[in-house]
């Protein structure tokens, strides 16, 4: 699923953002990546989605060799993952509905299915009634939730989220994390970068601490939130 071997990333200005990282993440894992600002967390995610290329080492993601992947194959890699960017990356001219539908239209999904799934993910993130708004008519937290909905809509095998609760109040953060745990419980791999230690303690699971570009700790603590059966099957039904 994800395999990194002695990976380093040196940016063109000489900053070594990651040094000699090795780790594996299996299908179905729920992983928190934590660490202080500037630790290399976003760089780590950027290597996984091939937004940046590693300077040294081996990286494999969902069957793709990231050191050899051709540019024309990158869209196929990205279709295996739902990505929540730290800076949202919504399209300003499009409505909330169209921003979310965009990824499904790109793969030629029928409009009827698109409507159904978009409605479902919109309600998952609590944005009912905002479908016709444009991003500049939303708060930061609402934009973040649109970006999460967009990541979920194609039922990816993996979700990669960079500070997905960074602009959201604690109660909503907790609700969003619960949704991610529910989605994880039907097999989707989830990788969440956060600096919110409280949230991590609250949920448990695998926690990788990155500091100064290195893995400081990689541990599993007991999972504390177990989603109710019904919420999982609800999701399954509408989304499949
Ligand atoms: N494009 C870039 N060019 C040069 N240095 C960068 C670039 N992006 C990030 N960095 C540097 O790499 C280090 C890690 O950054 P980043 O991965 O964004 O950390 P985090 O997400 O943990 O806050 C920081 O020192 C940052 O300044
Ligand atoms: Mg970051």
Token code pair at residue 158: 């993996």
pLDDT at 13 over 60: yes
Q: How far is the CA of 85 from the centre of ligand 2 (A)?
A: 9
Does residue 53's CB lie within 6 angstroms of at least one atom of ligand 1? no
pLDDT at 239 over 60: no
The mean pLDDT of the chain is: 91
- 3-class secondary structure per residue, 179-222: HHHHHHCCCCEEEEECCCHHHHHHHCEEEEEEECCEEEEEEEEC
Identify the band that residue 39 occupies on the pLDDT scale cut at 50, 70 and 90: very high
pLDDT at 232 over 80: no
Give the pLDDT mean for 120-135. 95
Q: What is the pLDDT of residues 171-217, one digit of tens each?
A: 888 888 888 898 898 899 999 999 888 889 889 999 999 999 999 99
Q: What is the pLDDT of residues 73-98, one digit of tens each?
A: 999 999 999 999 888 999 999 999 99
Q: Select from 3.40.30.10, 3.40.190.10, 3.40.50.300, 3.40.50.720 the CATH code of 1-80+157-230.
A: 3.40.50.300
Atom of ligand 1 nearest to the CA of 44: 17
The torsion angles phi and psi of 69, rounded to 5 degrees, stand at: -60, 135
Q: Whose CA is closest to atom 18 on ligand 1?
A: 42
Q: Please tell me which residue, 79 or 233, carries the higher pLDDT value.
A: 79
Q: How far is the CA of 178 from the centre of ligand 1 (A)?
A: 29
Of 13, 32, 36, 40, best ligand 1 pocket probe by most atoms within 8 Å of the beta carbon:
40
Q: How far is the CA of 154 from the centre of ligand 1 (A)?
A: 29
Identify the band that residue 230 occupies on the pLDDT scale cut at 50, 70 and 90: low
Does residue 11's CB lie within 6 angstroms of at least one atom of ligand 1? yes
Atom of ligand 1 nearest to the CA of 37: 23
Give the pLDDT mean for 63-78. 95
pTM of the model: 0.90
12/134 Cα distance (integer angstroms): 36
pLDDT of residue 240: 45
Q: How far is the CA of 43 from the centre of ligand 1 (A)?
A: 6
Give the pLDDT mean for 102-121. 94
Give all strands (DSSP E) within the chain, no chain letters: 2-10, 16-25, 30-34, 56-61, 64-65, 81-84, 158-162, 189-193, 205-211, 214-221
pLDDT of residue 43: 97
Q: What are the residue ranges spanned by the domains of the chain?
A: 1-80+157-230, 90-155
């Amino acid at each position: 699923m994800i395999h990194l071997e002695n990976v380093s990333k040196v940016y063109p200005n000489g900053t070594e953002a990651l040094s000699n990282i090795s780790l594996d993440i299996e299908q179905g894992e729920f992983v928190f990546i934590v660490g202080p600002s500037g630790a290399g967390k976003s760089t780590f995610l950027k290597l996984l989605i091939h937004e940046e290329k590693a300077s040294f080492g081996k990286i494999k993601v969902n069957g793709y060799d990231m050191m050899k992947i051709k540019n024309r194959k990158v869209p196929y890699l990205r279709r295996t993952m739902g990505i929540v960017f730290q800076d949202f990356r919504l399209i300003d001219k499009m409505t909330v509905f169209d921003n979310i539908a965009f990824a499904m239209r790109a793969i030629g999904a029928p409009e009827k299915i698109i409507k159904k799934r978009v409605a479902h993910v919109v309600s998952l993130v609590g944005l009912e009634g905002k479908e016709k708004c444009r991003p500049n008519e939303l708060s930061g937290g609402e934009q973040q939730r649109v970006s999460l909905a967009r990541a979920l809509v194609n039922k990816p095998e993996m979700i990669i989220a960079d500070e997905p609760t960074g602009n959201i109040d604690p109660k909503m953060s907790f609700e969003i994390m619960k949704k991610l745990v529910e989605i994880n419980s039907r097999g989707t791999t989830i990788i969440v970068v956060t600096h919110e230690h409280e949230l991590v303690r609250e949920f448990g699971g695998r926690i990788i601490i990155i500091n100064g570009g290195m893995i400081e700790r990689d541990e599993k603590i007991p999972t504390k939130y177990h989603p109710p059966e019904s919420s999982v099957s609800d999701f399954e039904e509408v989304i499949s």
